[in-house]
Amino acid sequence: MTSYSSVNCSTKGRLKKEDAAKTIAEGRNTKCLRDNRLHIIQPTHYSCPSKRIPHKTKKRELVTLTLPYLAALVPAEFRIRLTDEQTQNLDLDAPCDCVFLSITTLNSFRAYDIAENYRKKEIPVVMGGPHCFFHHDEAAKHADAVAIGEGETLIPRILEDLRSGKLQSIYRAESLHDLRGLPLPRHDLLDPRTFARFRSVAVQTSRGCPYRCAFCSERYYLGEKYRTRPVDDVIEEIRHTKSRRIHFSDSTFVGKRGHTLQLMEKLVPLSIQWSTLWNANMVLDRELMTLAKRSGVIHLNIGVDSINHDTLRSMNKKSTPHGRLKEMIKILRKAEISFSLNFILGWDTDKLEDFRATLEFVQHNKVPVAFFNAFSPHRGTPVFEDYLEQGKIRDVDNIDRWPGIGLRAEIYPTNFTAEQLEENIVYMYRQFYSWRSILHRLRMPTSTSSLVSWHLNVSQRKMFSGNGDCTNFDSM
């Protein structure tokens, strides 16, 4: 098995490598795309460092956007094969003229191994995705071309260069898309057998985030500006899915209040059930919440991040109304909307007592679902650079590479040990998702929203099988 690590090299050295990769790619693609056969792969990830076994699940409960949307950007004359390796077997011998790999840091090692198989057969490999934005030097060692940025302009350009034998080693999106007139995802190319019977379909209404939380890298690769899609385009895509269960896969659904109100008004006659990420302070907006309920919301995932005021201030977390969290929870419970709260633990201002205080808070206030995450600095942020300079990242080459990202301590915390960070988060999960806790917190499952809460609680329990470093917190 090949060993991988991040590489920091000089500009001169990087240019030499890129030129060499370009020469190799141009030599390989002279016969490329003769049959216009394109294989787009979403790799799975390895189970854990000690067992590099590809992680598999039988069904997905969410029809994600990655594969069908990438396929929608490909010109009509191409024959496209899609593979979601987490639920499907990857046929490395299936005939194709080029391979596209969409990679995250979590599945990067697996993607590199897949790429090696195709490159040995002189089939060009193109890599793109969030991982390539911050690790393009590394990805370029394993691919014939690397796409950095949004694919709307890059994919047609890459395919044209493949046809003409002029494939470049690095492609960068020159500007951000205005999100008008996006193509409809090619759901017709997906295998319906890989999805659960009661599944949701992902639809995107915006990109980016108007907030500036210190720990988040999203604005660096999605741009500083929060962009929204035309409401009518979103409605058209929802109808196109032919599904009554929609998950709006935005980082911030209510980034522009007027846009969100307009969208939810047009959701009402569709009679759908929907879920999304929602800012805590927006729960206090009565008009928004009334319309959300009327338009079919069944679950809101809310990034509270901390109950510690000093931590929230240090994070620049302005969307969490620290003094009104209990009021926020009461509003959601009264409206009978299922919701989950996300917490980050291990920030510099956190102390050991904050673990128990957070657990007591969610238990006492009967929060239906909660996720407890070990803080991991995102590459590209000033926080990451500070931790790197201080030597507080435990293994910089492998940060975020393995499952259990929410559980695994990637840093040396300030006020306790990395081992204490991991142990306390496991303790919180086990206590919160014990049957005693579940029966105390949840209402009887008599409505769709309450059924969602019960389903999420029961699903979370399977994380505690005691598999050590192989605990799959990501697979939920």
Identify the pLDDT of residue 32: 62
End residue of a domain, out of 172, 192, 223: 172
Which residues of the chain, if any, have pLDDT below 50?
A: 1-27, 29-30, 465-476
Give the closest residue to 274 by CA, choosing from 310, 250, 305, 303. 250
Give me the DSSP letters along 362-389: HHHTT-SEEEEEE--PPTTSHHHHHHHH
Identify the pLDDT of residue 219: 84
Q: Determine contact, residues 410/376, Cβ cutoff 8 Å.
A: yes
The verdict on residue 193 lying in a domain is: no
Indicate whether 28 and 142 sit together in one domain: yes
Q: Quote the number of domains for the chain.
A: 2
End residue of a domain, out of 127, 156, 172: 172
CA distances from 283 to 184, 205, 207, 328, 362 (A): 31, 19, 21, 6, 17
The verdict on residue 197 lying in a domain is: no
Which range marks the domain in which residue 255 is found?
Answer: 204-475
- 387-427 pLDDT, tens digit each: 999 999 999 999 999 887 678 899 999 999 999 999 999 99
Any idea what the CATH number is for the domain that residue 335 is in? 3.80.30.20
The verdict on residue 463 lying in a domain is: yes
The verdict on residue 1 lying in a domain is: no
Supply the DSSP symbol for 293: H
Identify the pLDDT of residue 47: 87
The verdict on residue 271 lying in a domain is: yes
CA atoms within 13 A on the CB side of 158: 31
End residue of a domain, out of 148, 172, 196: 172
Identify the pLDDT of residue 239: 98
Indicate whether 23 and 97 sit together in one domain: yes
Q: Which residue has the tokens 């009402």?
A: 268
Indicate whether 287 and 425 sit together in one domain: yes
Identify the pLDDT of residue 415: 97
DSSP β-ladder status, 227-228 and 206-207: antiparallel
DSSP β-ladder status, 98-102 and 125-128: parallel
For residue 290, count other CB atoms closer than 10 A to its CB. 12
Identify the pLDDT of residue 405: 62
The verdict on residue 210 lying in a domain is: yes
Indicate whether 139 and 223 sit together in one domain: no
The verdict on residue 191 lying in a domain is: no
Whole-angstrom Cα distance, residue 462 to residue 473? 9
Q: 286-294 and 257-267 are packed helices; what angle lies between their axes, rounded to 10 degrees?
A: 30
The verdict on residue 185 lying in a domain is: no
Whole-angstrom Cα distance, residue 137 to residue 148? 11
Identify the pLDDT of residue 128: 97
Indicate whether 150 and 209 sit together in one domain: no
> In the numeric block, which tokens belong to residue 19?
């030129």
